Amino acid sequence: MRVMRRYSPLLELSDFANELLGANSQRNISGFTPAVNTREDEKSYYIEVDLPGVKKEDLNVDFDKNHISISGERKYKNETKEEDYYKSESFFGKFSRSFSLPDSVDADAISAKFEDGVLNITIPKVAPKIAKKIEIE
């Protein structure tokens, strides 16, 4: 039986994108990309990563040559329900996000805190060197 629906260009684009990307139920268990918020003030850069369902021991934060990398895994929950049908819309899998940083960061003072499914990284800035005139003796 074919269901009729009103024509909508946006809905058609959405259907096309889903077909192109192969979006289906298998995609839910194959990829997870956490949402990230970044900001800065006079003293530091801040990275906030939403990681619901991820355990602290499944996270890594690395800094190397002005790049900070955040990686980890949200593991699939093996649940079986015999009596009911259910649909899982949660994404699982490994993830990695990297950010380039300017030379003006204090790599030794970078800190990370994981609480309530949110990873907060603080990257302090180094005070800029002030230009000055050098007296010749």
pLDDT category of residue 23 using cuts at 50, 70 and 90 = very low
On whether the CB atoms of residues 73 and 88 are closer than 8 A, the answer is no
Residues 115 and 46: their CA atoms lie apart, in Å, by 15
Does the 9-81+88-124 domain belong in CATH 3.40.630.30?
A: no
**What is the average pLDDT value for the chain, to the nearest integer?**
77
- List pLDDT tens digits, range 66-89: 899 999 988 766 655 556 656 666
- Cα–Cα distance, 57 to 75 (Å, whole number): 12
Please check the confidence at residue 94 and state whether its pLDDT lies above 90: no
User: What would the mean pLDDT of 14-27 be, rounded to a whole number?
Assistant: 46
Read off the pLDDT band of 128 (50, 70, 90): confident
Per-residue confidence (pLDDT) for residue 29, from 0 to 100:
35
Cα–Cα dist 55/4, whole Å = 45
The residues spanned by each domain of the chain are 9-81+88-124
Range with the lowest mean pLDDT among 27-31, 62-66, 67-71, 107-111? 27-31
Q: Quick one: which of 72, 82, 74 has its CA closest to 28?
A: 74
Q: 0.75 cut: is pTM over it? A: no
15 or 25, higher pLDDT: 15
Q: Which helix (H) or strand (E) holds 12?
A: helix 9-21
